Amino acid sequence: MTQRQNDQTIADVGEFALIDLVRGQLGTSDYVLVGPGDDAAHIATADGTYVTATDILIEGRHFRRDWSTATDIGRKAVAANLSDINAMGGVATALLVAFAAPGDTPVAWVTDLVAGMVEECAKVGARIVGGDMSAADQVVISITALGDAERPVTRSGAQPGDQVAFAGTLGLASAGYGALSRGFRSPKAAVDEHRAPHPPYAAGPAAAVAGATAMIDISDGLLADLGHVARASKVAIDVHPTSFEILDAVQTVAGALGGVDPLGFVLTGGDDYALAATFPADATLPEGWTRIGVVRSGEGVTVAGAPWEGGPGHRHWT
């Protein structure tokens, strides 16, 4: 490690540079078919393969107990993990849950949390099969999901000429967060989506069957996550802003916040856990997928041929 690295903090380098540093220390093996850097890892076993992913939710950063019920939080925690498996074109089958909380947390709150987790798992037929518990100063939920994918779709397969498409909802959860942050509890559609999203669980496997060349779930924002695809695939992606239907609830929040551009919620909000994927130019998009752009030679992500003014989405340690 250089002297400069010794002086840096994780906020200095940022999430993805930190991931790159860590990845360089990990090595690999014949069992690792797809390793760190994608939505999920693809692992070989003696009798087959599986995909696996993990996410962590921390009280005060990813959820607030005064905004969301325990059931909502349980659903959201599981949805974030099921979405990662979905983004590989797979279906989750089992989850391991690690839970930490202060000792004065009501037991009823924990049982409601688990009820939300079980409810969300049922949407794909997954089961919670184990985990761990500990004490902490705030609630922390860490989940590892495992699943099956007949043809895992990574972030690195996009080719110039491919069409770019998305499935699910964009902007609604981000608008809900904007409303809650200002003390509002409406519009209900936006606030409810922030509390507990509705990922398009059937869309990932359908995209894999239809020949998707790259795919990612939208957890940090459409532009930010398409940037991960562009970087992994060594291509450029251009998004057509007129391709999006901006929902009434998103427009309502944008207006209430003082004339904020509602397109910003669509392009940079991520908590809806929609999917973005690239497909060959001549591919027929599966039901529920909407074309929103094109892959080109070059690098980076643009909107109507120009850089987006403002940040592309969520960043840690900022």
220 is in an annotated binding site: yes
198 is in an annotated binding site: no
47 is in an annotated binding site: no
219 is in an annotated binding site: yes
How far apart, in Å, are the Cα atoms of 31 and each of 51, 155, 262?
12, 20, 45
132 is in an annotated binding site: yes
238 is in an annotated binding site: no
Q: What Rg do the C-alpha atoms of the chain give, in angstroms?
A: 19
Q: Which amino acid, 229?
A: V
The span from the CA of 201 to the CA of 89, in Å, is: 9
104 is in an annotated binding site: no
282 is in an annotated binding site: no
Buried b (16+ CB within 10 A) or exposed e, 161-191: ebbbbbbbbbbbbbbbbbbbeeebeebebbb
75 is in an annotated binding site: no
271 is in an annotated binding site: yes
Q: Tokens standing for 239? A: 């998004």
The span from the CA of 228 to the CA of 155, in Å, is: 7
The span from the CA of 18 to the CA of 13, in Å, is: 6
- Per the annotation, binding residues for substrate are 62, 271
- Per the annotation, binding residues are 39, 54-55, 62, 84, 131-132, 155, 217, 219-220, 271
- Per the annotation, binding residues for Mg(2+) are 39, 54-55, 84, 132, 217, 220
- Per the annotation, binding residues for ATP are 131-132, 155, 219
